[in-house]
């Protein structure tokens, strides 16, 4: 699956906020205010419930780092920062959590107004090399090799070493 990552404007260049940027920021501010009002109406949680939820969040590991892309974004407030999004997202401003708090001025939420992909957060680990000599299919029923199998492998390895010595000296 190949994703084409989009870009919008130049985060590091000059940027003039558009009417759409102002509208999106007003909408984000309105949603954040509504959520705060609704949370304020909810009954307080007990210490036990808070601890239970904390354990639940702590146990969630999430996807590994190589599943994320790093993006450079310009926020509504004008500050530039890097954010990480799942590599399946073609833009950093898609979906839930698209608006971010600004690390410099604290504006929360701050709408993303320009962005460009920087690259993967991490490279996936190399697949382990599988040796064809010690595969389970060549082993006995208990996973142990017989004396005859070990002697045959030993002879083959000695012959290979001897052949390599001859090629080096030639």
Span 58-93, pLDDT tens digits: 888 888 999 999 999 999 999 999 999 999 999 999
Span 119-152, pLDDT tens digits: 999 988 887 766 655 555 555 556 688 888 888 8
**Inter-residue contact 118 to 70 (CB < 8 Å):** yes
> Six-digit token pair at 127?
């697949």
First to last CA, the chain: 49
**What is the value of pTM for the model shown?**
0.67
Cα distance between residue 92 and residue 71, in whole Å: 7
pLDDT of residue 131: 60
Q: What is the mean pLDDT of residues 102-124?
A: 94
Cα distance between residue 149 and residue 64, in whole Å: 41
pLDDT of residue 133: 57
pLDDT of residue 94: 87
pLDDT of residue 49: 94
What is the length of the chain? 170
81: which strand partners?
Answer: 73
Q: How confident is the model at residue 27 (pLDDT cuts 50, 70, 90)?
A: very high
pLDDT of residue 33: 96
**Inter-residue contact 26 to 76 (CB < 8 Å):** no
pLDDT of residue 59: 84
Cα distance between residue 35 and residue 100, in whole Å: 15
Element (DSSP H or E) covering residue 49: helix 47-59
Sort residue 114 into left (φ over 0), alpha (ψ -120 to 50) or beta.
beta
């Amino acid at each position: 699956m190949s994703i084409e990552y989009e870009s919008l404007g130049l985060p590091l260049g000059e940027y003039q906020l558009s009417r759409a940027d102002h509208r999106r920021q007003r909408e984000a501010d309105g949603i954040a205010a509504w959520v705060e009002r609704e949370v304020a109406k909810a009954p307080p949680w007990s210490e036990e419930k808070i601890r239970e939820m904390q354990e639940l969040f702590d146990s969630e590991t999430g996807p590994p780092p190589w599943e994320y892309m790093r993006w450079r974004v310009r926020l509504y407030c004008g500050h530039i920062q890097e954010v990480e999004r799942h590599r399946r997202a073609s833009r950093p401003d898609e979906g839930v959590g698209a608006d971010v708090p600004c690390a410099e001025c604290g504006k929360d939420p701050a709408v993303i107004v320009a962005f460009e992909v920087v690259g993967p957060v991490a490279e996936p680990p190399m697949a382990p090399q599988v040796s064809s000599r010690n595969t389970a299919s060549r082993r006995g029923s208990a996973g142990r090799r017989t004396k005859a199998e070990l002697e045959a492998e030993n002879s083959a390895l000695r012959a290979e070493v001897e052949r390599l010595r001859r090629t080096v000296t030639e």
